[in-house]
């Protein structure tokens, strides 16, 4: 059985020889952006009347948006329109992400088995597992949101009581801490859900249960790989935030580069790592079957 270090090292070697593994993530990002643009335009029209857009300067339009975004200045009809638009945008982007996530895992599995992925696998795996991947994402989100139960002890407290009673504020902070810990633990335990779904052709519920069972027998490896991916992701986000906060074209370009690194490098690389770990630990991919790839 491969050690976690071998999984990371050999996964990097496979990614280096198959840079086209970034295609699903690139397409997903582009399509998500194309979906967001018209919806943000619709948000703008819903918040600021067209007559105001035609007669106002850019600064006046920004002031009008900030004024109308305040809930106290938004009518019920405006709130409903914005909420529906936002909900529809989230659904469409989730559908895009589900399709290309399944396609990316399919490509990663083929790259690990044959050494070279076929772009057609992205479309076939996406179509085959799209619906189950979408439902699995909803199920995982539901499990994550269930952690809000940690806040129930303070739901009945009024804002004044939170200020007047220190123990109420302490209870709120404790609930917040418990929710953060819960979210971290759940994200680790369910990390292999998408890979179980695609690799073993499981349904949403079965994939979640398979991920929980996989974690039971591979706690150390799952935790280490999760920490490695999170460390790289947070580092890129910190660099991106640092450069984006600075003025100048050069800094803005560096910010764009860090964003592209996340899409073109980290996303396909982490997908390979997780796919390889799952397939090897489940006995789907034997070491001797791929020993000549590297």
Q: Could you give the CA distance from residue 287 to residue 222 in angstroms, rounded to a whole number?
A: 19
Dist. CA 291–CA 2, nearest whole Å: 12
Split at pLDDT 50, 70, 90, the class of 55 is very low
pLDDT in tens, 98-145: 999 999 999 999 999 988 888 899 999 999 999 999 999 999 999 988
Question: Which secondary structure element, helix H or strand E, spans residue 118, and what is its range?
Answer: none
pTM attached to this predicted model: 0.83
| Lowest mean pLDDT segment, chosen from 71-75, 96-100, 121-125, 146-150 | 71-75
Dist. CA 92–CA 165, nearest whole Å: 44
* Average pLDDT over every residue of 252-276: 88
* pLDDT-derived band at 50, boundaries 50, 70, 90: very low
Least confident of 11-20, 70-79, 176-185: 70-79
For residues 247 and 164, the answer to whether their CB atoms sit within 8 Å is no
Mean per-residue pLDDT for 252-263? 80
Look at 246 and 123; give whichever has higher pLDDT: 123
Angle between helices 267-281 and 4-17 (to 10 degrees): 130
Nearest residue to 179 (alpha-carbon basis) of 222, 227, 146, 136: 146
For the residues 227-252, what does the mean pLDDT come to?
Answer: 76
- Looking at beta carbons, which pairs linking 36-43 to residues 24 or more positions away fall under 8 Å? 36/89, 36/93, 39/85, 39/86, 39/88, 39/89, 42/85, 43/82, 43/85, 43/86
End-to-end CA gap in the chain: 17
| Residue carrying structure tokens 């086209």 | 20
State whether the Cα torsion 175-178-184-189 is positive or negative.
negative
pLDDT, residue 145, reads 86
Confidence at residue 294, expressed as pLDDT on a 0 to 100 scale: 45
Q: Are 194 and 102 in contact (CB under 8 A)?
A: yes
Residue pLDDT, tens place only, 177-216? 888 899 999 999 999 999 999 999 999 999 999 999 999 9
Is 161's pLDDT higher than 80?
A: no
């Amino acid at each position: 059985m491969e050690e976690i270090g071998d999984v990371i090292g050999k996964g990097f070697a496979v990614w280096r020889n198959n840079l086209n593994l970034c295609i699903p993530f690139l397409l997903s990002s582009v399509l998500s952006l194309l979906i967001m643009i018209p919806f943000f335009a619709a948000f703008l029209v819903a918040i600021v009347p067209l007559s105001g857009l035609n007669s106002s300067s850019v600064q006046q339009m920004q002031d009008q948006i900030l004024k109308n975004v305040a809930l106290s200045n938004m009518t019920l009809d405006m709130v409903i329109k914005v909420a529906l638009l936002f909900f529809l945008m989230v659904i469409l982007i989730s559908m895009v992400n589900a399709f290309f996530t399944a396609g990316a895992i399919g490509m990663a599995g083929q790259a690990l088995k044959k050494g070279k992925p076929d772009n057609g696998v992205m479309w076939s795996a996406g179509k085959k597992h799209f619906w189950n991947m979408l439902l699995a994402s909803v199920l995982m989100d539901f499990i994550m949101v269930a952690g809000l139960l940690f806040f129930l002890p303070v739901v009945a407290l009024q804002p004044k009581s939170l200020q007047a009673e220190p123990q109420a504020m302490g209870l709120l902070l404790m609930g917040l801490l418990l929710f953060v810990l819960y979210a971290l633990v759940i994200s680790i335990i369910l990390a292999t859900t998408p890979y179980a779904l695609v690799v073993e052709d499981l349904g949403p519920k079965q994939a979640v249960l398979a991920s929980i069972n996989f974690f039971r027998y591979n706690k150390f490896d799952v935790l280490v790989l999760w920490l490695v991916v999170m460390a790289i992701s947070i580092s890129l986000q910190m660099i991106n935030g640092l450069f984006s906060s600075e003025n100048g074209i050069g800094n803005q370009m560096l910010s764009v580069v860090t964003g592209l690194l996340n899409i073109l490098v980290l996303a396909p690389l982490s997908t390979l790592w997780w796919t390889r770990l799952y397939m090897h630990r489940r006995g789907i991919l034997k070491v001797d079957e791929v020993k000549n790839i590297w």
